Amino acid sequence: MSYVTFRVVIPARLKSSRLPNKPLLDLGGKPMVVRVCERAQRSGADTIVVATDSRDVRDAVRDAGFDVCMTREDHPSGTDRIAEVCDHFGWADETVVVNVQGDEPFLPPALIDQAAHQLVDSGADMATLAHAIHDAGELFNPNICKVVLKANADALYFSRAPIPFARDAFSPDWQQGQQPKTLPTSGYDCYRHIGLYAYRRRFLRDYASLAPSPLESVEALEQLRALWHGYRISVAVTDTLPPAGVDTPDDATRAQQVYADHFAALRIDPQA
């Protein structure tokens, strides 16, 4: 595999309707946003920058020794916020930027690197990752984003709905008001989207100037703006499924327990 130079930007808004002050959630003695920075640091990125509109987040990131860029409060998506970071630093048009979500403290660093390589190898405008779905419960879970691929592995569509819908296999249960419990055993591929993105700086400039699409607003999926306006999104299917991110109070409790168990196993005091 050829070497790809890339930068990581981590959007981190302090305001969250489901989990207030999410980036500052304590995970083993460090704020979650710092834990995400540490994961990104292991990916081989040349630069790691947190993009935030919060002075508290800024201070926490700087105290941990990472770079931060203060951005506007009114960005409709993390990708728009990253475009402002590119403007702030004056990055060249060919700069490869990977968007790592600020609530993914367990993201395998290798996936960040894989997204950057997928962008360069495919020549697409954007790149992202997906993982095969083997459980019907995941396919019908609206909290899990699904993606359908073209023959060339570009994204055809992303949705929170169960796509593609296997009409003959699912209709009998569906017509009785029941959710199908199994997936077809052959001739059917479905994938869950892994929410990190790679792009070049020149695309980010274009993206920030595009009008949000109706689909983006309805599905609450920012990548649909790119598809709506005719841009290519290349998708790499990976065997690695990252652990769930942190979106809710229950997620926060689970993540804190993971760190508590880890330090207990190593007999390390995280506060030391």
Kindly report the average pLDDT of the chain as a whole number. Answer: 90
User: Any idea which of 102-106, 228-232, 237-241, 246-250 has the lowest mean pLDDT?
Assistant: 246-250
CA pair distance 38, 85, nearest whole angstrom: 20
Query: Which residues have C-beta within 8 Å of that of residue 158, sequence separation ≥ 6?
Result: 145, 146, 147, 148, 193, 219, 221, 223, 224, 227
What percent of the chain has a predicted confidence (pLDDT) above 70? 94
Classify burial at 19, counting beta carbons within 10 Å of its beta carbon; exposed 0-12, middle 13-18, buried 19 or more.
Answer: middle
Coil, strand, or helix at residue 194?
strand
- Reported confidence tier of residue 13, pLDDT bands at 50, 70, 90: confident
Position with higher pLDDT, 105 vs 13: 105
* 186 pLDDT higher than 80: no
CA pair distance 266, 268, nearest whole angstrom: 5
- Residue 272: its pLDDT value, please? 44
Closest by Cα among 225, 246, 243, 227 to 235: 227
- Predicted confidence (pLDDT) per residue in 156-168, tens digit: 999 999 999 888 8
Task: Kindly report the pTM of this predicted structure.
Answer: 0.91
Beta strands in the chain (DSSP E): 7-11, 26-27, 30-31, 47-52, 67-70, 96-99, 126-132, 146-149, 155-159, 191-200, 233-237
Residue 85 and residue 78 in contact, taking contact as beta carbons nearer than 8 Å: no
- Reported confidence tier of residue 67, pLDDT bands at 50, 70, 90: very high
Coil, strand, or helix at residue 216?
helix
Token reading at 104:
């993914």
- Residue 170: its pLDDT value, please? 86
What percent of the chain has a predicted confidence (pLDDT) above 90? 69
Token reading at 256:
């804190």
Q: Judging by DSSP bridges, how do beta strands 96-99 and 191-200 pair with one another?
A: antiparallel
Give, as one character, the DSSP assignment of residue 154: B
- Reported confidence tier of residue 73, pLDDT bands at 50, 70, 90: confident
